[in-house]
């Protein structure tokens, strides 16, 4: 009787073995890639972003995870992080209050950033550097 890869895959024990092998191989790669995309996202958002409809709302992201949101009527200082590739976690409460970070939908394409909650999506474009 010859044994080939397909007969191993068909057996339950073989499937369990392959699943464990796959997990063992992928898990270290996932951790490394998670750190890589988080760093890529943070590097990509650093700088100023203007609300696309012209409301004069500006979001200023720093590399150390800080965010300042300014508009004609509001000012917020926040911290931010990316829990996964499709969300941003914002903590915008003053230091003296108990913290309750909020998670929002997040997408970044070229110089366009979208942040959304269950009701609306804010669209931002990268602010142009002032011309000398």
CATH for the stretch 47-126: 2.40.128.280
Host H or E run for residue 78: strand 75-84
Provide the token pair at 32: 């490394």
pLDDT per residue as tens digits for the range 31-40: 446 678 888 8
Domain limits of the chain? 5-38, 47-126
Q: Which of 129, 110, 107 is nearest to 47 (CA)?
A: 129
Confidence of residue 130 (pLDDT cuts 50, 70, 90): low
Given a cut of 90, is residue 106 above it in pLDDT? yes
Whether this model's pTM surpasses 0.85: no
**pLDDT-derived band of residue 123, with 50, 70 and 90 as boundaries?**
very high
Structure confidence by residue, pLDDT tens digits, 52-65: 999 999 999 999 99
């Amino acid at each position: 009787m010859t044994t080939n890869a397909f007969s191993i895959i068909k057996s339950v024990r073989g499937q369990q073995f392959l699943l464990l092998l796959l997990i063992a191989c992928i898990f270290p790669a996932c951790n490394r890639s998670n750190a890589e995309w988080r760093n890529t996202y943070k590097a990509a958002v650093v700088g100023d972003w203007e609300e696309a409809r012209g409301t004069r709302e500006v979001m200023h992201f720093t590399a150390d995870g800080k965010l300042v949101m300014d508009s004609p009527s509001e000012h917020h200082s926040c911290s931010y992080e990316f829990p996964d590739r499709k969300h941003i976690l914002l903590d915008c409460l003053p230091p003296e209050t108990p913290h309750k970070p909020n998670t929002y939908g997040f997408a970044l394409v070229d110089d366009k950033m979208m942040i959304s909650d269950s009701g609306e999506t804010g669209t931002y474009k990268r602010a142009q550097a002032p011309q000398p």
